[in-house]
Amino acid sequence: MKIFSFFFEILPLVGFFIGFHYYGIYAAGVVSVVTGIFVLAISWYRNKRLSLFPVYLILLSAVFTFAAIFFDASVFIKIQPTITNGFFALILLGGLCFGRPMMQVFFCQQFNLTRDTWIKLTYRWGCFFLILAIANEIVWRNNPESAWVSYKTFIVAPMSLLFMLCQLPLTLRGQDKTSKEK
């Protein structure tokens, strides 16, 4: 059932890709936002709750898409991944500077991990988001729009899934067994 959830949650990206190839970047942004709202609505219907992370992403996407259409500047759509990933990197790595593994703050309900594991995951994900932000800037500034859309769809999405899977061994090894026994 979890694999279905993953594929369901990438529908906005699929919508973005299809919308771009048939109608252009502005339509792609709108299709992605509308599809994201649809996914959130289904999630609400199934679970009777919403995680703040996807709500934040959809709202941010909607703001950048509206700005792109209003100002007739597709750059707003292109910089949205940079800002989103850069912000996540700042929160995660900045939290570590203050001794707070922010991954624990965001995901403590889903996972029961040791503090050391939370710190490692926070550092790894923070670095990953920083790399994504920098890479997005390089790609959209130096390639045609269609190449950027393909990069976003066929490189970033699979790389994110692969990176997540690579964190699985650490997550499984880092289960906090002491708090389960209490």
How confident is the model over 73-96, as a mean pLDDT? 96
In this prediction, residue 182 has a pLDDT band, given cuts at 50, 70 and 90, of very low
Amino acid 1: pLDDT: 43
d(CA 96, CA 103): 10
In this prediction, residue 76 has a pLDDT band, given cuts at 50, 70 and 90, of very high
Spell out the domain ranges in the chain. Answer: 1-72, 74-176
For 171, counting Cβ atoms within 10 Å of its Cβ (0-12 exposed, 13-18 middle, 19+ buried), the class is: middle
d(CA 25, CA 12): 14
pTM of the model: 0.88
**What is the overall mean pLDDT for the chain?**
91
Amino acid 27: pLDDT: 97
Which of the pair, 108 or 13, is modelled with greater confidence? 13
Give every CB contact of residue 104 below 8 A, 6+ residues apart in sequence: 113, 115, 118, 122
